[in-house]
Amino acid sequence: MTSFTLAEVREKTYKKRDAWWTVFIVDPLASRLVVWTANRTGITPNQITFGAGILGLAAAVCFALASWPLLVAGAVLFHLSFVLDCMDGKIARLKRNGSVFGGWVDFIFDRVRFFGCMMALLIGQWVATGQAVYLLLAPVVTFLDLMRYLNGAQVAKTRQSMREKLRAAARGRDVGATMDDDPESTETQREPGADGAGGDEGQSEPIIFKEEAQRDHPDAAPEHVYATAGARLVDVHKGFSARFTWYERFRSTLLRGRVRPHLFSGIEFEMFICVLAPLTALVALVTALPSLIIAVTVFSCAALAAFELLIVYKLWLATRDFGVELRRLRSEH
């Protein structure tokens, strides 16, 4: 039987960049549990996903009952459920026994778990306190969680489209500067020859995008990366970098620790609402203050909205730089 080590788990299953909550709070525990699980059991990723769902259901029941001991228990159970959720993907990558359907199940379980636990927490607090603000927060949290998924998918699609058009233009292809006509499509319309295969147009040196070079080689200067690869450096974030001169250094520092610069992503949003917020019930035990569930939830909504708007702003600036780069590449052919 193959024996996996902690070093192998880190090398084969850790993402190049991840949410800071995952990097600092979840991975240190999940990776060690993966070593034990992979070496001593035959548990499959789907079974781990099911276990995470059971813990999530138990957390929702605790939240609905609303007493402070059960709020704390619910927070712990939700966090452990997320640890298992991280483990199933790691086991699948480590043992290569994952499946496409398993990935779909994992995604659906994630969404159902968060929605169920969030609603149980807020409705349970409304029943316990009579404060209508808890009912008002529920649709706000739901809307923001939905919007971040839609925004993330569309931003990724737009970025991919820009990269492929620039690669095609570098090969002498005649491409337009506009994005795909159908904003509801989830498929990127690939430019002919964008993957470098075939085509009889004039070939040019390959291009490397500065942000990707910084992400993949955070310790090296992007100029060194593209010079070593014999490629041209393309930067579609000049506008953003010019406005926020500190950002590239800050981003590189985070990436060296595997932390992505999107500091309040969906993971932090979920953990703040379903872990940190219910844990503040302990505040009422040691002070005259009530729990801070409302305050933490409002902060989480504001922080998520702010970071999503920042992503959109950065994308808007990138589309302007994209047009400049595209015209420059066209002029060379």
User: Can you point out the beta strands (E) in 251-309?
Assistant: none
Stretches in the chain below the pLDDT threshold 70? 1, 175-205, 217-231, 333
CATH of domain 6-157+251-320: 1.20.120.1760
Contacts of 210-218 with CB under 8 Å at 24 or more apart are 210/234, 210/235, 210/237, 211/235, 211/236, 211/237, 214/248, 214/251, 214/252, 214/255, 215/16, 215/17, 215/255, 216/16, 218/252, 218/255, 218/256
The answer to whether 318 touches 239, Cβ cutoff 8 Å, is yes
Q: In the numeric block, which tokens belong to residue 77?
A: 């159970």
pLDDT given for residue 98 in this prediction: 80
pLDDT given for residue 253 in this prediction: 92
Prediction pTM value: 0.86
Task: Please state, in angstroms and rounded to a whole number, the distance separating the CA atoms of residues 324 and 316.
Answer: 13
Task: Please state, in angstroms and rounded to a whole number, the distance separating the CA atoms of residues 180 and 182.
Answer: 6
Of 68, 8, 99, 114, the C-alpha closest to 291 is: 68
The count of C-alpha atoms lying within 13 angstroms of the C-alpha of 173, restricted to the half-sphere facing its C-beta, is 21
Query: Could you report the per-residue pLDDT of 68-102, keeping only the tens digit for each?
Result: 999 999 999 999 999 999 999 999 999 988 888 88
Residue 96's region, left for phi above 0, alpha for psi from -120 to 50, else beta, is left
Longest dimension (CA), the chain: 76
Q: In the numeric block, which tokens belong to residue 242?
A: 């010019």
Q: Count the neighbouring beta carbons within 10 Å of the beta carbon of residue 311.
A: 16
Q: Count the neighbouring beta carbons within 10 Å of the beta carbon of residue 215.
A: 16
pLDDT given for residue 173 in this prediction: 76
Provide φ and ψ at 234, rounded to 5°: -120, 130
Q: List the Cα angle 135/137/139 in 5-degree steps.
A: 85
The answer to whether 138 touches 118, Cβ cutoff 8 Å, is yes
